[in-house]
Structure 1
Amino acid sequence: MKLRKARKPGDRNSAIPETSDSLARLDRRTKDLTKRLQPGEIAIIDHEDIDRVSAEALVECRPAAVVNAAKSISGRYPNLGPGILLDGGIPLIDDAGGQLFERITEGDRIRVEGGRVLRGDEEIAAGVLQTRESIDADMATAEAGMDDALVSFVENTIEYVRKDSDLLLGKVGVPHVRTDFTGRQALIVVRGYHYKEDLAMLRPYIREYRPILIGVDGGADAILEAGYQPDMIVGDMDSVSDTALTSGAELVVHAYRDGRAPGVERLHDLGLECVLFPASGTSEDIAMLLADDKGASLIVAVGTHDTLIEFLDKGRKGMASTFLTRLRVGSKLVDAKGVSRLYRQRISSLQLALLVVAGFVALSAAVTATPGGQTLLGLIGANFDGFFQWLRGLFDSTPPTAADLGIVSPLLKDSLTP
C-alpha cells in the first residue's frame, strides 16, 4: 500500500492510502468473508457497527483495505471494531453505499485511492476514509448516547424475561444426548473476546481434568485450532466448518421454539445425524443449560458474552435468556480467566518418580566423570565385595580370614600372609 500526501491544505489526513490493483472479495456477512479472504486482497463488506471479533478476524487476514457499504460506527453504541482495523494498519473506507455489491463482482481487480474505489480509471464508489480523529469523534458521539441505549436494552430484557421464564424454572425440554456429563466438567467455547488466549491459558487444566469440550458454532473450529477434538457441537450450524462437523463430535442443533431448524438441512446434506434442542435464547445459553441438566459438575466458559457492549456487538437488543441462564447455572459456571488464575497444576506420582530417576541419572553421570567420583565408586565396590564374601562364608565350612573379607588394611594383610 502506498501513501500520498493529502490534496487539500488543512486536511486532517497527513497522507491518503493508495493501494495497487488487488482482487476484490465480497460478502455481506463479515464472518463468512474472513473464511476466504487472503492477504493483500480488498475486503468489501456491509457491516453496520463493526464489532470487535469481526475486526480482529479481518486483521488476521491482512487485507490491503476494507471497504464498508454501511457505517462502521452508526452512533448506536461505542463499538471498537473500526479502531482495531486502524490499529492493525488496515485502511477503512466507510459508508460507501450498497451499490458496491451491484457494481463489483468477486475477483474483480480494484484499488483504493483515499475514499474512492476504482476499477481501472472508473470510480465505482466513494466513501469516507476513516482516521483516528474521525473514529474518536464518532466514538464520543456514541458514548454520549449510551444512556438511551442502556434504557432500551434493559426494557427489552425485562419484556423478554417474562416470555423466557421457563429457562429459569427448568421447563425447557432438554433432549437426550449420548455424551455422558455425569460428574465431569464441561468446557464451553464460543468465538468471543480473547478466546484464543483463554484456551492457551487453560492447557494445563484441560490436560489434567479432561473436561467435555463443547464448541458453540465456530467455537468448535477454535477447539480444533487449539489442537483438541470437540466432544459436542451446539448451535444453528451456520458458522462452523465441515471439518468440525465431521470430526466425530455429537451435534446438537439449536432450533426455534416451534421446532424449525434451518441448520438440519446442512447436516443431512453431509450425511450427519443430530439432536434438536428447541429453545429461545442464544446457542451458548442452551449449551450451558444442556451441560447443567446432564449433570456436569462444573461449567467453564471461554469467549462467552456477558457485558452490555458484547451483547450490542452481537446485535442483541436484550439479554433476557443470558440473564436467566446465568441465574440457573450460576453455582456451576466459572469464567475461563478465573480458572486460569485460581488453578495450579498438580504434580502426579509418575512425574515425581521420573524426576527422582532423572536426579539419580544425573548424579551417576557426575560421579563417573570425575577422578574423585571414580575413587569413591571403587571404595564402595570394595566394601560390597567384602560384605558378599562374609555372607558366603556363613555357609562355607572353612571360615574366611580377615584379609579375605577385605576389611583390614593392606599392611596388616601382608603381615598375616605366611
Structure 2
Amino acid sequence: MRLPTLRRTRAAEPGVALGTVRLDRRTKRLVGRLQPGDFAVIDHVDLDRVAADSLVAAGVGAVLNAKPSISGRYPNLGPEVLVAAGVPLLDDLGEGLFQQLREGDRVRLDGGAVYLDEELVAQGVRQDEQLVAAAMADAREGLSVQLEAFAANTMEYLRQERDLLLDGVGVPDIETSINGRHCLIVVRGYDYQADLDVLRPYIREFKPVLIGVDGGADALVEAGYTPDLIVGDMDSVTDEVLRCGAELVVHAYPDGRAPGLARVHDLGLPAHLFPAAATSEDIAMLLADEKGATLLVAVGTHVTLVEFLDKGRGGMASTILTRLKIGGKLVDAKGVSRLYRQGIPGSSLLLLLLAAMAAMAAAVAVSTAGKAFLGVVAEWWDNLVFQLQRLF
C-alpha cells in the first residue's frame, strides 16, 4: 500500500541526500531515463561493472537496490565502481521499495534509510569501501562453487547448440558483405569508449564491417560511425540508431520467441531472426565467422574469467565455446589498440629529419644545377662578410 505523500519539504541537513527517483527492474533500461542527480531504484543482485559504469556515466546521485549488490556468490565488480565514484549505494532495501515509490517521487536518504517526505519507506545497508572490501573477500572464498556451475552451464550450452557451433545451423542469410573482410564487434561493455577512440587509425585503414551489439550500436554512432549491422535483443538501442540504415538481426530464444522483433516491426523496419541460447555478443561473432570474416576485433566484450562471472548469468557460459569455435580470428580491441598506441619516439623523428636534410644536401652538391646554386650562395656569403668587415 502506498504511503501518503506529505506536502512539506524538509531542508537538507549535513549527511542527508535529497533526490528524484527513477525506477526500473532492468538497470540497462533505466540508464536511458536517468538525469544527472537522479536516484536510481534498481532490482539487481550482484551488480556488475558494466551496469555500475553506465550508472556513473549517467551522473546518478544515488543507487537504491532492492536486492543485495553483493550476494557472496562471486566477487562482482559493480559496487566497487560506485563506491569509488562517490555514489551512495543503499543495499538490500526490500521489495517494498518498488511498491511504495513512484517515478518522480522526491526522497530523502539518511544513513541506510529512505524517506518519502517524513515516512520511512525502506531500511537497508549503506555500503562503503570497508564493507565492500570485506564482502568481496568473502565472495572470493566461494569462487570454486561458481566455477563448477560455470562449467556445468558450458556443457549444457554445448548440448543445446551443437549444430550451431559445428555446422552453422540457424545462422540467418544477410545482405551485408562480410566475406574476406575484418569485422569490428562493439559491445557497450568494459572500456569501450577508450578502445574505440584508440582504434580510429585501424578503422580508417582497414574499413572493417561495423557490428553493434544492442547498445554497442549507439556507442558506434556516438563515436562518429554508422554501424553496418545491429545484432541483439533490441532492448537497449535507441530508435534513432535503429533507423540509421543498418541491417538488423534480432536475437531470439531457441524456441523462436523474439520480444525485440515487435519493437522493430513497430518502427516499420525489416529484420532477420537468429534463434540461439547464446548471448547477443556471441551470436554476432558466430554470424561474422560463418559469413567469412577474416578477423574479428571485439570492443567491450568479456575477456577474463572474472568478467564472465561478473556478468552474473548462466548464458555467459556460451562465450567460452564461441571463442573456441572462432579460434585465432578473434582479437580483443585492447591488443589492437596497444599496437596502434606505439608512437614514433622524438629521437627517431629528429634522426629522420637530419638524414633527409643530409640526403638533400648531397643531391644538390653533386648535380650541375646544384653546383651553380652553391656558387651563387658562396658569392652571396662572401659579399655579406665583406660588408660586415667594412662596417666594423
TM (norm. structure 2) is 0.82
d(CA) in 2 for partners of 1:87, 1:180: 44
Counterpart amino acid of residue 17 in structure 2: T
Structure 1 match to 2:110: 113
- CA shift digits 1:219-265 (9 cap, x unpaired): 10111111111010001111111111011100011122232222111
Query: CA 1:156–1:293 in 2, change beyond 3 Å: closer, same or farther?
Result: closer
Structure 2 match to 1:56: 53
d(CA) in 1 for partners of 2:164, 2:317: 10
Check whether the contact 1:213–1:229 (CA below 8 A) recurs between aligned residues.
yes
d(CA) in 1 for partners of 2:124, 2:110: 11
- CA shift digits 1:2-39 (9 cap, x unpaired): 784xxxxxxxxxxxx3113x211111111111111111
2:121 corresponds to which of 120, 124, 140: 124
1:228 corresponds to which of 215, 225, 228: 225
Are 1:19 and 2:20 matched, yes or no? Answer: no
Counterpart amino acid of residue 330 in structure 2: L
d(CA) in 2 for partners of 1:83, 1:168: 36
Percent identity over the alignment is 61
Query: CA 1:346–1:313 in 2, change beyond 3 Å: closer, same or farther?
Result: closer
Q: Counterpart of 2:63 in 1: which secondary structure?
A: strand
- CA shift digits 1:286-333 (9 cap, x unpaired): 111111121212111111123332222323226443222212211211
Structure 1 match to 2:140: 143
1:203 corresponds to which of 171, 183, 200: 200
Q: Greater CA radius of gyration, 1 or 2?
A: 1
Structure 2 match to 1:84: 81
Q: Counterpart of 2:122 in 1: which secondary structure?
A: strand
Counterpart amino acid of residue 51 in structure 2: S
Cα RMSD for the two superposed structures: 2.7
Are 1:153 and 2:147 matched, yes or no? Answer: no
Check whether the contact 2:279–2:316 (CA below 8 A) recurs between aligned residues.
no
Q: Counterpart of 1:44 in 2: which secondary structure?
A: strand
TM (norm. structure 1) is 0.77
Check whether the contact 1:191–1:222 (CA below 8 A) recurs between aligned residues.
yes
Counterpart amino acid of residue 298 in structure 2: A
1:306 corresponds to which of 281, 303, 307: 303
d(CA) in 1 for partners of 2:26, 2:171: 31
Task: Note the residue ranges of structure 2 that are not aligned, 5 or more in a row.
Answer: 1-10, 345-352, 358-372, 378-392
Give 1:338-353 correspondences, 5 Å limit. 338-343=335-340
Task: Note the residue ranges of structure 1 that are not aligned, 5 or more in a row.
Answer: 5-16, 348-355, 361-375, 381-418
The offset of 1:162, in angstroms, is 2.5
d(CA) in 2 for partners of 1:278, 1:120: 48
Check whether the contact 1:168–1:327 (CA below 8 A) recurs between aligned residues.
no
Q: Counterpart of 1:123 in 2: which secondary structure?
A: strand
Structure 2 match to 1:10: none
The offset of 1:344, in angstroms, is 7.6
Q: Counterpart of 1:325 in 2: which secondary structure?
A: helix
Count the aligned residue pairs.
346
2:255 corresponds to which of 238, 258, 279: 258
The offset of 1:210, in angstroms, is 0.9
1:177 corresponds to which of 174, 177, 202: 174
Query: CA 1:345–1:63 in 2, change beyond 3 Å: closer, same or farther?
Result: closer
d(CA) in 1 for partners of 2:35, 2:251: 31
Query: CA 1:58–1:279 in 2, change beyond 3 Å: closer, same or farther?
Result: same
Check whether the contact 1:311–1:318 (CA below 8 A) recurs between aligned residues.
no
Counterpart amino acid of residue 124 in structure 2: G
Check whether the contact 2:217–2:227 (CA below 8 A) recurs between aligned residues.
yes
The offset of 1:177, in angstroms, is 0.8
d(CA) in 2 for partners of 1:171, 1:337: 28
Query: CA 1:65–1:263 in 2, change beyond 3 Å: closer, same or farther?
Result: same
d(CA) in 2 for partners of 1:158, 1:64: 42
